[in-house]
Structure formats: structure tokens, C-alpha cells
Amino acid sequence: MKTNSCKKGFTLIELLVVVLIIGILAAIALPQYKKAVWKSRTAELQTLTKSLLTAQLAFYTETNRLPTTFTALDLEFPCTQDSSLASSLGLHDACVKDNKYILVLNEDAVAAMFADGEYQYSGFVGTARSNPSHAAGLTRPGEIYCEEAGENVGFCNKFFGATEVGSWGPYHMFRMP
């Protein structure tokens, strides 16, 4: 009489090898995933800034004055007004979009920046006219610039290879290639 003593299953070594391979793949994939997420958020933020600047320039063309609130702009996007943030930063108006972005409106500039993460308060700024007493004095009207604030530096250079054109308070302005 024959007995079949063959057991089906994986050995401990085989399981450890599979776990090791999965670990290596995860270690490679996670940084790439984070980079892709930041690139996506950066593209969305840049688009928001361009939309804000276009709306600000259109308002200025129609009225010969710059807007002081987001409601004056011809834009449709959900944004929670934050008057305390605006007053603490010395701005005309500020709002938070999707708890990810801070949008600000000043007398001669618009900006959109990250509300959280490793590049918090970094983003983009666009100016409708030159004003030497503000950051706009460092930029050309109608153009979008990369902006970094405080200690969260490296965003503009890492994603765009941008060159710094100057600073205004804690903000550093970069011209993108």
C-alpha cells in the first residue's frame, strides 16, 4: 500500500523571499508615487494661479482698478473665505480650497500656495501690475512666478529648475524656465 506523504504549501524561505521582493518594490515605488502626487498637486495649483491672474487682469481691464475680493472676480470654484488668514497676512482676501490650497488676493497680485505638506506656503504668484513696494516689484505683470516661503525651500528648484529673482520678507520669488 502506497501512502502519499507530499505536503502542499510554501516553505518559510519561499515566503520570506516573496516578502523581501514586495518590500523592495514598495521601497522603490513609494517615493515615485509621492513625487507623482506632488506633480499633480503642483499642476493644479499652477492652473488655479493662472485662472486667478486672468480673472484679475480681466477685472482690471474692465474697471481700471484691481479687485479686493474673490467674489469680484468672474470665477466659479468652491473656496472657503478666511478673513482671519487674510488679515494676519496683511492681504485683501484669502480663501482655502479643498483644505489643500490657500488662495490669496492682494492689491496687485494673486497667489495660490499649498496649505499643508512639506512645501507648505510654497506655490505660485502672478501680478497684474508692478508695485516696487511689494513682491510685484520683483516680477513682470501678467507672468506667473514660483514662490517659496519660510523654511520650506526647494520646491521651485526641484520641480522647475527655477532661478531666484529676489525676496520679499519671508517669500522668495523664482522665474520659471
Distance between CA 150 and CA 137 in Å, rounded?
20
Amino acid at 161: G
Which tens digits make up the pLDDT trace of 162-177? Answer: 888 888 777 888 888 7
Of 173, 140, 149, 146, whose CA–CA distance to 159 is shortest? 146
Of 84, 88, 132, whose CA–CA distance to 108 is shortest? 132
Which tens digits make up the pLDDT trace of 131-165? Answer: 555 555 566 778 888 988 876 678 888 888 888 88
> How far is the CA of 86 from the CAs of 103, 127, 137, in angstroms?
10, 18, 21
Which tens digits make up the pLDDT trace of 106-124? Answer: 877 888 999 888 888 889 9
pTM: 0.76
8 A C-beta contact, residue 59 and residue 73: yes
Residue 20: its pLDDT value, please? Answer: 95
Which tens digits make up the pLDDT trace of 14-53? Answer: 999 999 999 999 999 998 898 888 889 999 999 999 988 9
Kindly compute the dihedral angle of the four CA atoms of residues 55, 64, 169, 90, in this order, to the nearest 10 degrees: -80
Query: Residue 81 — pLDDT band, cuts 50, 70, 90?
Result: confident
68-79 as b/e: b if 16+ CB within 10 A: eebebbebeeeb
Distance between CA 94 and CA 105 in Å, rounded?
6
Query: Residue 6 — pLDDT band, cuts 50, 70, 90?
Result: low
